[in-house]
Amino acid sequence: MKQLLKTLTETFGPSGFEDEVRKVILKEVKPFADETRVDALGNLIARRKPVKSAKNPKKIMLAAHMDEIGVVASHIDKRGFVRFTNVGAAFGRYTLGARVRFMNGVTGVVGYDRLENFDGVLPINKMYIDVGATSQKDCPVKAGDFGAFERSFIEMGKRLVAKSMDNRAGVAVLIETLRNIKSTQNDLYFVFTTQEEVGVRGAGSAAYSIDPDIGIAIDTTPTGDTPASLKMTMELGKGPCVKIRDVGMLADPRVVDWMIQTAEKAKIPHQREVLLIGSTDARAIQISRAGVMAGALSIPCRYTHSASEMVDFDDLKNSVKLLTAMLNKSVPL
């Protein structure tokens, strides 16, 4: 799974431009899926059908978003500096000094107009990307060009660091879970969604098409285990998090109980997640059509929405174990 995660995180794919990531995923899932398709918004849907003897199989949608945060050029000044805006929640505190790669392969470094308050909040509208140009004419970037952070994958013991761990970590977990499912009593839809970072758009259209009985998002979640962090219980290395609440949704208590009881029975370490910032694809799934019983399994992640997001390898492995244990058997809901 580490090599898969390295490949996924180092693949370019900001919101709306998930094509290259989708190619990597399709190659991995096709041998294990009964059917695959790509919908109009670019979601990759891999279906695993129930065994013929299954009685009243539940239709379950599992969603992990493929896209990553990024930038889009908005203006090129006369000296060739690229002004930009964010694609998704790219935070100013992480953006200054970062390296950016545009779709045409051009790389640049993020600079700032003038730092008057070194400890203050850094607004993105005061930043620019230096791509080595000397004038507007010789700048290889044009307004409307999309880019993403450029940073390689590294291992720090059990801790894995890369850009776009949000949510290529979730993608890797979903791929490994599909590989582990030998047979199932359920009708499973493994959905690798687009444009989550800009408003959970892909998940909404996919859920409308699939019309699942149950929806589960697999995503990363910020932790509360760093100095002076928000007071949240999620920690690296303590197991996957069962979402109870975030800014966008209240997880269905039936799904929460199913996840926790499965983890306890299988003796899989897990955490209870009450997230104070952000949301996931589960928000869009939950309110699709006439409503869906929905929840989320989250992977603890430090430095979310930076170019160096950190996860723990044991949490990834235990996420796969928990999902596999849940999906192999009939759903008790």
Catalytic residue ranges: 196
Structure tokens at 176: 């490994």
Q: Going by DSSP bridges, is the β-strand pair 127-130/107-112 parallel, antiparallel, or unpaired?
A: antiparallel
Instruction: Give the residue ranges of DSSP H helices in the chain.
Output: 2-9, 19-29, 92-95, 165-180, 201-210, 253-265, 282-286, 313-328
Q: Going by DSSP bridges, is the β-strand pair 107-112/99-102 parallel, antiparallel, or unpaired?
A: antiparallel
CA distances (Å), 157 to each of 2, 87, 160, 310, 313, in order? Answer: 12, 32, 8, 12, 9
Residue 65, beta-bridge partner list: 193
In this structure, are residues 81 and 219 in contact, taking their beta carbons and an 8 Å threshold? no
Work out the number of other CB atoms within 10 angstroms of the CB of residue 260.
15
Cis status, amide bond into 167, omega within 30 of 0? yes
DSSP-assigned states of every residue in 43-73: -EEEEEPPPTT-SS--EEEEEEE--B-EEEE
CA distances (Å), 57 to each of 29, 45, 145, 243, 332, in order? Answer: 22, 18, 45, 24, 11
In angstroms, how far is CA 141 from the centroid of its own chain?
27
Q: What distance in Å separates the CA atoms of residue 29 and residue 178, rounded to the nearest whole number?
A: 7
Structure tokens at 94: 């992480």
Q: What distance in Å separates the CA atoms of residue 33 and residue 43, rounded to the nearest whole number?
A: 15
In this structure, are residues 82 and 73 in contact, taking their beta carbons and an 8 Å threshold? yes
